[in-house]
Structure 1
Amino acid sequence: MEATQIVLASRPKGTPTQENFRFEKTTLPALQDGQVLLEPVYFSVDPYMRGRMNDAKSYVPPYQVDAPIAGAVVAKVKESKSPLLQPDDMVLGLLPWASQSIAPADQLQKIDTDLAPASYYLGILGMPGLTAYFGLLDIGKPKAGETVVVSGAAGAVGLVVGQLAKIQGCRVVGLAGSDEKVSLLKKEFGYNEVINYKTAGNLDAALKAACPDGVDVYFDNVGGEITDAVIRNINFHARIVLCGQIALYNEAEPAPGPRFLPIILTRSALIQGFIVSNFSKRFPEGMQQLANWVKEGKLHYQETVIEGFEKLPEAFLGLFTGENKGKMLVKV
């Protein structure tokens, strides 16, 4: 049985390019007891994958050169040699970028497509939604009336963070990279103010105008100069949720930046990094609450869906140029 897979051809230096990926044919082995044959339906592309392209120690092992890229995938079961799954079941798993794959049934999560569309399990009911839920509520601890600032506000996580903050009764300010995203966040996702950081000029002044009472919670998806500016505007006892640093992922050398720890010190602020898997034992709780809010109409979502297995590298690279509004997915 033949399949096409996408492997890491070389480790990128700086921003990845198409040359770092290679398509190749592979022959799948015979299905063994306890395994299922899968046909992918949706592939997730996520910023954290950039870190796995480096040969560096992190919270997940690096991708290996000449081995398939892997990530979160929603797939349909084509054949099964396991009592756990039947043909046509829809599942979620960490799977290779391949046109077909074989996986142990006990390492896959069967999903309910009557509860929500299949793609939502890679977005609002998947890693991005859970990241927003636990990061904001457990670390940010927003209180009604506080000001919450979100960078990368139009991304997969940011869209959910802003809405969760509104549910908690907060004033929500976002940072995004285009006027189209600014309009989307204000009109469809309830953000009180949104700053286009590419055209704002003086970010400090823009933040002071958007946050006249200062910043109580900062959900940081971006890092870099945006974070430097937000931290200069934090309040006493502010909480900074360190979720992502996409502005820095492609830098070959660490860029010198403002040393903001004196501000953290003098304003008695908390800054905490986290990985969503820290909360893995509570995933069912998070998924249930997010699903309830979706059903109640309190949470809305947006996806950027690119069609075609061959478009996976292009979709991934688009994350670093802001091509996505909401979750970036590739549909097969």
Structure 2
Amino acid sequence: MFHPGRVVRRALCVLAMLGAMLGAMLGAGLGLAGPAAAEGRIRIAEQYGLGYLPLHVLRHQKLIEKHGKELGLDISVEWVQLGGGAAMNDALLSDSIDLGSGGVGPLLTIWDRTRGGANVRAIAALNNMPLFLNTNNPNVTSLKDLTDKDKIALPAVKVSIQSRTLQIAAEQAFGEGKFDALDRLTVSLPHPDANAALLSGAAEITGHLSGPPFQYQQLRDPKIRKVFSSYDVLGGPHTFNLIWAKEAFRANNPKTYQAFLGALKEAAALINADHATAADIYLAQNKGDLDKAFVVGILGDKDIQYTLAPSRIGVYAGFLNKVGAIRNKPASWRDLFFEDLHGETGS
């Protein structure tokens, strides 16, 4: 079904990504960067899916503005939607945005890349969520059944949390050091496009490693089956998405930062307390054809938790360090986060 709003959002996403890349190139080549936000202004980038519901809630309810007023500050909030962690990090490093959001992989990449410089760290986790590898290929019941005729869609190859999860699963399936055994089958595609391709069965995409709500929507179709859940791969619940910023933004904008963190805590509390209202907000922010009861059902899944404390982030960090994707291995999850959350119980 044709959705004009979805086309516009994707066009804006492409423009934002091009702007971020241009800014990054200028910054790298000329030593220049875009203007940093002043106290009372914050520019936030979000992505698609229920993993970003806390951001959708605080955007819809204007919670940042509310918490800013409580601190005596009028905060101007600007939003952009980007389609992957690489675009997030390029935009952040070029000062096109102040806060980037995404999976554990992109966070670890930018944390490692900016140590001793911009010192990018996580503000908070957004959730614990399982990631499913789903397929429409009736011959695939495990990773070992995949052939060169299969194509697995990911939001970004090699850097997204979906890509890293697939690599961990591949090493478990094919043996130590074989983490890249399936990389040749992966393609980068935004979740909405990959979701449509898998469900249509008409495209070359035969697999999609995504997240809520896309994976649950796919499993409503009897032709789609789950190959694995990331909870099985990592040994239990783990952080899916986080939000991060440069150290300078936190230092130079203490009230704006405090207002954002307070708003994020309120958003998570609202989601956990009232799934129906949270579903209404998600549907208002994400135009599409999902029904409210379906979204409420996903939010009620015991495997989905909206929490600011990270879970099993150290598993990803250890893997990325082992395969050479990051040079530095954090001694603790606290190394990756600003100290505001250091009192929480995480892993």
TM-score, length basis structure 2: 0.32
Higher relative contact order (CA 8 A, sep 6+): 2
Relative to its length, the structure with more strand (as a share) is: 1
For the pair shown, the structure with the greater C-alpha radius of gyration is 1
